[in-house]
């Protein structure tokens, strides 16, 4: 029965990933992602249901639009698959629990903001506000009002810490080192993780981002790198691995 649920979560995750990709790609452009029909970015032709079946449509159409035969960006397909895997993993790790709802929220946040930040270097405030409310509601139902207030305090601390990092970066590099969206994102991360784990997320994100940034700099000759996706990857890893302060301290002291 558990396997059935995992498969079901994977399928739901595929379709949700498709929706999240639409949200992440349209919201920064102020396009309606609810009523406006999906269309080909090349020819503008409205897509049918058969054109939008996650992964399967992309494979059968060989990565091309059915109508204009131009190549389709594989970003949506990657995000659909990534979302499906993480939805299934969420149930596998947390089962039927309140933590499952937190995990699904993290996955949703990861997919939407990765699409928007990679595509437009924008982290929409609307998404951050929505998930702030979402996480606070789940935390309040699970642990009570005091836990929600502590979560808010943790978010404020991480917001302040990230803001200080931005000021130091601006001073050292004599230019904008972090976007405002990254700082506000740390507030949302702080709602779920305590300040210590939030700081670990920042270091983990920087560690992951460094080699990728060097590759992009070498290949594309550009130094503008979206940091939001790396923060969210670090956030996801810390939460799904269920790491605690004591576990991380023990790991560090081992070396």
Q: Is the pLDDT of residue 40 over 90?
A: no
The mean pLDDT value of the chain amounts to: 87
Whether residue 233 contacts residue 208, with contact meaning beta carbons closer than 8 Å, is answered with: yes
pLDDT in tens, 127-171: 999 999 999 999 999 999 999 999 999 999 999 999 999 999 888
Q: Give the pLDDT band of residue 72 (cuts 50, 70, 90).
A: confident
- Alpha carbons within 13 angstroms on the beta-carbon side of residue 194 total 7
| Domains of the chain by residue range | 1-96, 99-255
d(CA 255, CA 237): 21
Q: How far apart are CA 12 and CA 83, in angstroms?
A: 9
Q: Using the predicted structure, report yes or no on whether residue 109 has a pLDDT greater than 70.
A: yes
Which residues on adjacent β-strands are paired with residue 250? Answer: none
What is the rounded distance in angstroms from the CA atom of residue 216 to the CA atom of residue 118?
12
What integer is the mean pLDDT of 207-223? Answer: 77
Report how far apart the first and last C-alpha atoms of the chain are (Å, whole number).
Answer: 42
Lowest mean pLDDT among 16-30, 37-51, 113-127: 37-51
Per the CB < 8 A criterion, the answer to whether 209 and 227 are in contact is: yes
Task: Considering only residues 173 and 122, tell me which one the structure prediction assigns the higher pLDDT.
Answer: 122
- pLDDT, one tens digit per residue, over 178-190 is 888 999 999 999 9
pLDDT at 135 (0 to 100): 98
DSSP secondary-structure letter at 35?
S
**Band (39; pLDDT cuts 50, 70, 90):** low
The pLDDT score that the predictor gives to residue 69 is 67
Helix axes 228-240, 180-192, angle to 10 degrees: 10
Q: Which tokens in the block code for residue 205?
A: 């994100």
| pLDDT, greater one: 29 or 104 | 104
In whole angstroms, give the CA distance from residue 27 to residue 25: 6
Q: How far apart are CA 154 and CA 198, in angstroms?
A: 9
CA dist 189 and 103 (Å) reads: 12
CB 102 within 8 A of CB 138: yes
**Cβ count within 10 A of residue 139:** 22
In sequence order, the 6+-apart residues with CB closer than 8 A to the CB of 248 are 196, 197, 200
């Amino acid at each position: 029965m558990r396997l059935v649920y995992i498969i079901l979560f994977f399928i739901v995750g595929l379709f949700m990933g498709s929706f999240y990709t639409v949200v992440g790609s349209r919201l920064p452009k102020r396009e309606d992602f609810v009523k406006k029909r999906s269309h080909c970015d090349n020819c503008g032709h409205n897509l049918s249901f058969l054109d939008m079946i996650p992964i399967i449509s992309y494979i059968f159409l060989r990565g091309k639009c059915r109508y204009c035969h131009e190549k389709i960006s594989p970003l949506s397909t990657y995000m659909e698959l990534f979302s499906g895997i993480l939805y299934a993993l969420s149930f596998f790790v947390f089962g039927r629990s309140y933590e499952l709802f937190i995990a699904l929220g993290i996955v949703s946040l990861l997919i939407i903001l990765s699409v928007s930040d990679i595509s437009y270097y924008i982290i929409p405030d609307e998404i951050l506000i929505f998930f702030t409310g979402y996480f606070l509601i789940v935390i309040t139902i699970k642990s009570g009002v005091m836990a929600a207030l502590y979560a808010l305090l943790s978010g404020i601390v991480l917001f302040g810490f990230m803001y200080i990092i931005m000021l130091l970066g601006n001073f050292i590099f004599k230019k904008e080192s972090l976007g405002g969206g990254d700082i506000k994102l740390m507030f949302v991360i702080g709602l779920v993780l305590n300040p210590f784990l939030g700081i670990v997320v920042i270091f983990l994100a920087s560690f992951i981002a460094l080699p990728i940034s060097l590759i992009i700099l070498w290949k594309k000759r550009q130094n503008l790198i979206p940091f939001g996706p790396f923060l969210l990857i670090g956030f996801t890893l810390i939460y799904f691995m269920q790491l605690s302060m004591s576990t991380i301290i023990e790991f560090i002291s081992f070396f």
